[in-house]
Amino acid sequence: MVSWKGIYFVVALFLGSFFGSIFMLGPFLPLMFISPAWYRWITDRVVATWLTLPVALLEMVFGAKVVVTGDGFVPGERSVIIMNHRTRMDWMFLWNCLLRYSYLRLEKICLKSSLKSIPGFGWAMQVAAFIFIQRKWEDDKNHFEKMLHYFCDIHEPLQLLIFPEGTDLTANTKSRSNDFAEKNGLRKYEYVLHPRTTGFTFVVECLREGNNLDAIHDITVAYPQNIPQTEKHLLNGNFPKEIHFHVQRYPVETVPTSKEELQLWCQKRWEEKEERLRRFYEGGKCFDETGQSIIPPCKSELRVFAVKCISLLYWTVFPMGPCLLSFPG
């Protein structure tokens, strides 16, 4: 059943992205043809202000708790982020982690192409240069190549989030993954899906060639209490009570260079994820008893709190202006 919390969440994000795309991002579109580097520099920062809104709503309004353990991030470094795809909304929840440990303006996401046509949300994502894919490698390869070369050419730091599993974990997708494992003599997984390594290896190779990669961040996400699987769950007010992220950082020098070894490297990370998640859900529902990362966050919790407060205030007031101006008299 739809709840007021879910409606408020969706409406707040929609109004902010809709009017933000028109009045905050729209005026900079001509700059895209004059100076692509400056256009990217400005629009990334504008979009990042909106990305703080779902973080603020999840934590301050709906009470979600975020726990980050493991290596953490080196602020500002260029990386590929690989993560297990537990729910359809993992990419949004990751912003709660990146606000503290990195810079939201650096993150780009590989998402399914249908999302780019959504008014407001899709417009902002296109301006932010998110990579939209069909999930068919024959169709996606050229688009991937163009986008990655674009990021290398403008020399802007990039943290690219990809989901090697290709889809979220459900009974249906787990069954298909297990069928694949059985046919190929692989282990069947309970908490993750077998990764598709073609896109991952291509991305790493392209960014390496363009000298635009410092590290790979392997993130494992888990939800110890309720698991909001789809957008419908959020609309029904089923927001995550806790989100746990475990970060492992691999400097690019330590990552294999050959395609075959890189594929095996990725598969090895997923074997580790399966064991890590098994211990998480069968044990004390935590990745690390300390509940802290090795590398401290680049922002204090006081600063994060201030950012969330400002975000809530701004994105509540800003959409009211265009709405009020639309009324006659």
- What 3-state class would DSSP assign to 116? helix
- 191 CB-near residues (< 8 Å, 6+ apart): 84, 169, 273, 274, 277, 278, 281
In this prediction the pTM is: 0.94
Least confident of 51-60, 66-75, 251-260: 66-75
pLDDT for position 304: 96
- 121 CB-near residues (< 8 Å, 6+ apart): 13, 14, 17, 115
- What one-letter code names the amino acid at 89? M
Instruction: Give the strand order in the sheet containing 242-251.
Output: 65-70, 242-251, 215-222, 79-83, 159-162, 107-112, 131-133
Average pLDDT, the chain: 92
- What one-letter code names the amino acid at 127? V
| Averaged pLDDT, 131-157 | 89
In angstroms, the CA 18 to CA 39 distance is: 19
**pLDDT grade for 327, boundaries at 50, 70 and 90:** low
**pLDDT grade for 242, boundaries at 50, 70 and 90:** very high
Least confident of 38-42, 132-136, 170-174: 132-136
Question: pLDDT tens digits for 166-209?
Answer: 999 999 999 999 999 999 999 999 999 999 999 999 999 999 99
Q: Is the pLDDT of residue 326 over 70?
A: no
Residue the block writes with tokens 């407001």 = 120
First to last CA, the chain: 38
Residue the block writes with tokens 């992220």 = 245
pLDDT for position 292: 72
pLDDT for position 324: 54
pLDDT for position 284: 84
Question: pLDDT tens digits for 86-112?
Answer: 999 999 999 999 999 989 999 999 998
- 311 CB-near residues (< 8 Å, 6+ apart): 49, 52, 53, 55, 56
The DSSP H or E segment spanning 11 is: helix 4-20
pLDDT for position 67: 93
Give the CA distances from residue 108 to residues 60, 167, 264, in Å, rounded to whole numbers and listed in that order: 25, 17, 25
Task: List, in sequence order, every beta strand (DSSP E) within the chain.
Answer: 65-70, 79-83, 107-112, 131-133, 159-162, 215-222, 242-251
- The answer to whether the beta carbons of residues 110 and 162 sit under 8 Å apart is yes
Q: Fold for 65-298, please state it.
A: Glycerol-3-phosphate (1)-acyltransferase (3.40.1130)
- 54 CB-near residues (< 8 Å, 6+ apart): 9, 13, 92, 95
The DSSP H or E segment spanning 123 is: helix 121-127
- More confident site: 323 or 177: 177
pLDDT for position 320: 74
Q: Is the pLDDT of residue 321 over 70?
A: no
In angstroms, the CA 145 to CA 158 distance is: 15
Question: pLDDT tens digits for 288-320?
Answer: 877 677 778 888 999 999 999 999 999 999 887
**pLDDT grade for 325, boundaries at 50, 70 and 90:** low
Cβ neighbour number for residue 284 with a 10 Å cutoff: 10
Share of the chain above pLDDT 70, in %: 97
Cβ neighbour number for residue 207 with a 10 Å cutoff: 23
